[in-house]
A and B are shown apart, each in its own frame.
Chain A
């Protein structure tokens, strides 16, 4: 009996493995003896200039091979004028490999520059910078500056938003549902905003070989699933632990908003890093107004428990302070790829929170979502966010 059990186990494993064996055989054949069969069409070299830094008397371009064949970087130009340059570590790029092209050049602050890279078949690829600004150097002053911006954009508005708590506490159940739905509306707007931002960054900076939109979709869904699973664990433990259900939900909202604010911090840091200072002042004012509503989102579920000032402040910090870390990373070590990833994670986190809130309303509201309070709350949430977003 035990033997036959082992036999069937072996069979199951074998039947699982056999397709893999065939996949490997097929790959070996295609890359080996069958290579000629598939050798048609012309593969064109492609590189993408991912990043341009302006340092003292030098412009540095990070170049990635984003095509299907190895390429050789043979020439650099600034504004379509050929310049001598250095390539580190070397000019031969395998697929996805990057190299740093250093172009000695006396650039002028705030002027636009187009950097061109020519590969061995004479094809030129370019990237434009709207206004040259010195790459930010890591310094204490600047780190403090970013921390202050992050506080203005993240922590303070969220804290102000939390001040609505006493108001929400005193209102009727219907009105309370209105505010919960409003929160969901606010969050849905933020999630869409994050996705739009991620797609935009990937379109502008990442090569098409990264499949930008699908990358965003994948990261968003994975983030949603991961947090959904973890969140459910947290809520199911809520009854037995010191957390109450409202606290658990508020905590999840804080984490979701925190991840979103991290993305916003990245955007602000990057804007400062790229020298669009005026733009970032606007961004800061806009984000601050916008983020006040995020405090409301945390306050709404918390209003049904006891007033726990310490926990509330902690949640405000969880939601707001990532803006500071985001600004640091965005300003000092900006990479379009990480920013796309973080925007995607943020969007997934928010979707997860929306599902949790709706489920909570559904349970509290006699298994209904279609009441006037819920529908109008959702609509008002989206509208408020849209209107404040015009300021950004």
Chain B
């Protein structure tokens, strides 16, 4: 009787401590490494570099998405642009295949929407804080002190504040939450890009926004991932399609925390670089810029030859942890990229 009970107890504890071992899928799978080796496995593949994950946030959509606001004209002819920005801090998002992270968002995404205006426009931004903590919007640029989003914390669960100021100066600027502890509010994702166009428009181009950011998913004040537009390796497995002989203009903003610098290297080309975008004459013609925290600028370039070109941080640690991508340059008049031979055979 005792023995029976004891053995029952043992079986019971075995069931408690070793619940059903998960079943492996049958059949071998293969994957290719960086160096081209083909690896076969009877198990599963974990590969954030080339795995095409379905992400809630679409970096491809964000790339060319500019938010001009609700436009109207004041009696004196000034253009009024109205925006509504909602902050939240309870969202759990899959940031890399299988990795779930609590993102704090402006309008549901990291980065928040790209706010775009023309110099001299009046901006009216209704900020609603639906988070559980206090948040604000602090714009880099020129504005009155009470519109700075620092000393006017907006309470959570529906608190509101209306930021109103004249757009300026011309250039590309970040905006971000400025509630203490600041680092925490920034690294969780409360930031975005604010573009002020000159009154005389820049030349037409294929324009895009790249926010260089990092994710510290285990809160050890070191980034576990880096990216252009949040999702690591995204533009590597989803190359950005552009055309030869077409002007490309990138508004690039560095929001990486913890690491003092970031940089941007372009392959097979050089770009004109306008630091902060405040001057209409480029300061550099280079393939490498170094960016400190919230440092930003505008890059302009054209490709002469079709094909695949990498762009990435030349701080290789960052690129090997996600901040890397590919431009797929198509020649609209000639053959497609797929027909190009790489290397010598």
Contacts and interface: CB of A to CB of B under 8 A. Distances in A.
Interface of A: 13, 16-17, 20-21, 23-24, 27, 31, 57-58, 72-77, 80-82, 84-92, 94-97, 99-102, 104, 106, 118, 120-124
A124 B8 CA distance: 38
B22 A75 contact: no
A94 B320 contact: no
Nearest to B23: A90
Interface string B152-183: 00000000000000000000000000000000
A89 B42 contact: yes
Given A16-B2, A102-B41, A104-B37, A84 B218 contact: no
Contacts of B317: 80-81
Nearest to B42: A88
Contacts of B2: 13, 16-17
B45 A86 contact: yes
Nearest to A58: B39
Contacts, number: 138
B46 A87 contact: yes
Contacts of A76: 46
B1 A13 contact: yes
Contacts of B101: 121-122
B275 to A, nearest CB: 30
12 contacts: A23-B9, A74-B97, A75-B46, A81-B320, A81-B321, A82-B225, A84-B48, A92-B22, A101-B46, A104-B37, A118-B217, A121-B101
Interface of B: 1-2, 5-6, 8-9, 12, 16-25, 29, 31, 33-35, 37, 39, 41-50, 95-101, 215, 217-218, 224-225, 232, 316-317, 320-322
Nearest to A117: B46
Nearest to A31: B16
Q: Which 8 A-B pairs have the closest CB atoms?
A: A122-B217, A74-B98, A88-B43, A86-B41, A84-B47, A89-B24, A81-B320, A92-B22
B49 A82 contact: yes
B217 A121 contact: yes
Given A88-B42, A118-B224, A120-B100, A94 B22 contact: yes
B322 A82 contact: yes
Nearest to A23: B9
Contacts of A99: 43
Contacts of B46: 73-76, 84-87, 91, 101
A122 B45 contact: no
Contact of B98 (A16, A95, A100, A120): A120
A43 to B, nearest CB: 15
Given A80-B317, A82-B232, 20 more contacts: A13-B2, A24-B8, A24-B12, A80-B321, A82-B321, A84-B33, A85-B47, A86-B44, A86-B46, A87-B44, A87-B45, A88-B43, A90-B23, A94-B18, A95-B17, A95-B19, A102-B39, A118-B99, A122-B95, A124-B217
Contact of A75 (B23, B35, B37, B99): B99
A374 B183 CA distance: 68
Given A27-B12, A87-B46, A94-B21, A122 B100 contact: yes
A300 B17 CA distance: 50
Nearest to A122: B217
Contacts of A20: 5-6, 9
B48 A97 contact: no
Contacts of B23: 90
Contacts of B17: 95-96
B99 A122 contact: yes
Nearest to B24: A89
Contact of A84 (B8, B31, B99): B31
A80 B225 CA distance: 10
Contacts of B42: 88-89
B31 A75 contact: no
A123 B101 CA distance: 10
B178 to A, nearest CB: 25
B98 A123 contact: no
Contacts of A13: 1-2
A90 B25 contact: yes
B41 A88 contact: yes
B99 A120 contact: yes
Given A80-B317, A123-B218, A86 B98 contact: no
B50 A84 contact: yes
B41 A72 contact: no
Given A17-B5, A118-B224, A97 B21 contact: yes
Given A86-B43, A92-B22, A75 B1 contact: no
B195 to A, nearest CB: 31
A380 to B, nearest CB: 49
A363 B12 CA distance: 50
Nearest to B43: A88
Nearest to A88: B43
Contact of B44 (A90, A94, A97, A106): A90
Contacts of A97: 18, 21
Contact of B217 (A27, A84, A88, A123): A123
Contacts of B9: 20, 23-24
Residue among B48, B95, B321 having the largest count of chain A Cβ atoms under 10 Å: B48
A17 B6 CA distance: 9
A76 B45 CA distance: 11
Contacts of B21: 94, 97
A172 B104 CA distance: 84
